[in-house]
Structure 1
């Protein structure tokens, strides 16, 4: 166990809280999951930024997930978990079932919150779905537009079927989805928009650099990397 995880483990003993899995829905193929959870101790009414939860996925191992589609009155939310890449987080998500207990050590804000003075463009990969659903919930009637790269064709169909919003699913052409997202920004006007970028960290860096090279400069660029 690393020193970091030892510290988190100590924090878990002191401050750890739990939630109960209400339902698990797997997309086809089963490498992406929607997990409905009851978190009785979360103060969801105070959220004004997209949040992340540090969840225990194995002994001494923790992963950050985004609570989305939350309901303040029932203290419930949905975790949208991308489990395409092998690792303890994917293994944990694949094993979840109704009635399981989820242990977490805290809830904290990310850098992303809605803006009211510009359009909001959201770009990312499949790990970004929950994040942008949370941002849309905070933005209320102001729509997010943009693109999320998804490799599996059936996943793209499910994305369009299940999620009724203005972010589109586009075919992922490479690891991290850079090529598809770069094509998207070059064929859409970013001028005066606030651009949010999330997902694969090297792709986020490349995409931010590419946007800065374009003639149509956005009002601002907000990056939140999730994985390497």
Structure 2
């Protein structure tokens, strides 16, 4: 959501009051210097959730930010978010300041990024900002006895992050000048039975907008149907957040 004048942001909370759920920070864990896991607790009984959907928080007087929970339990009133503290924008700065006992409002859930249970295979592409999505889609796939594959474009210093959240992933190096170059190479190298299996997957593409575009184009060229591909950019070059 773009930056809004304060009075419009206030009006948004009133207009969507039925989707606003008061929550409290009940637990915080720093899994690494820049990876913060925050557990929110509140009454979420009216906030049904499909794995993959996003939630929103108002991070300052004029801006809202989307996040994908890593864990969501509607009945227990628990929502966990993995925050990548990159310090590039108001969302990261807000997440850095969160402390146990803080209160805020969780907006949603919603969005087109949703687990497609009718598919046996689930291919997830993203970066540091996509760890929450990977975790919750993994849980959904495991519950359905289905298969998942995560391909993550990470900075070298963050290549161990998937293991910190009990996640298996194929990792490629983040290249700022050539978004998803290594990820596209991995897709091109998938041949034979391996590709025959995974081309029937649902493809969930998140993270950097330019990387998503490159991976999507590579999939289409390899014959993957457009309806199999779901995209949700979490950030874009030159923007402070989405």
Task: Give the TM bin, normalised by the shorter chain.
Answer: 0.7 to 0.9
Q: What does 1:14-29 correspond to in 2, within 5 Å?
A: 15=17, 16-28=20-32
CA RMSD after TM alignment: 2.5
Q: What does 1:39-50 correspond to in 2, within 5 Å?
A: 39-43=42-46, 46-50=48-52
- Asked if the contact 1:149/1:177 (under 8 Å) is kept, the reply is no
Q: Which runs of 5+ in 1 are unaligned?
A: none
Residue-pair matches, total: 222
Q: Any idea what the Cα deviations from partners look like across 1:12-44, whole Å, max 9, x if unmatched?
A: 24514321111122233x222111111313545
Whose strand fraction is larger, Structure 1's or Structure 2's? 1
| Counterparts of 2:117 and 2:70, CA distance in 1 | 18
| Counterparts of 2:113 and 2:210, CA distance in 1 | 18
User: Aligned pair 1:218/2:198, yes or no?
Assistant: no
Q: Any idea what the Cα deviations from partners look like across 1:107-154, whole Å, max 9, x if unmatched?
A: 22333222333421111111111122222233323231121122143x
Partner of residue 145, structure 1: 149
Q: What does 1:198-217 correspond to in 2, within 5 Å?
A: 198-214=206-222, 217=223
| Counterparts of 2:218 and 2:6, CA distance in 1 | 35
Q: TM-score, normalised by structure 2?
A: 0.80
Partner of residue 195, structure 1: 203
User: SS of the residue aligned with 2:175?
Assistant: coil
| Counterparts of 2:28 and 2:166, CA distance in 1 | 20
Q: What does 1:114-153 correspond to in 2, within 5 Å?
A: 114-139=116-141, 140=143, 141-153=145-157
Q: TM-score, normalised by structure 1?
A: 0.84
Q: 1:206 to 1:5 in 2, by over 3 A?
A: farther
Partner of residue 240, structure 2: none
Q: 1:6: how far off?
A: 4.1
User: Aligned pair 1:31/2:31, yes or no?
Assistant: no
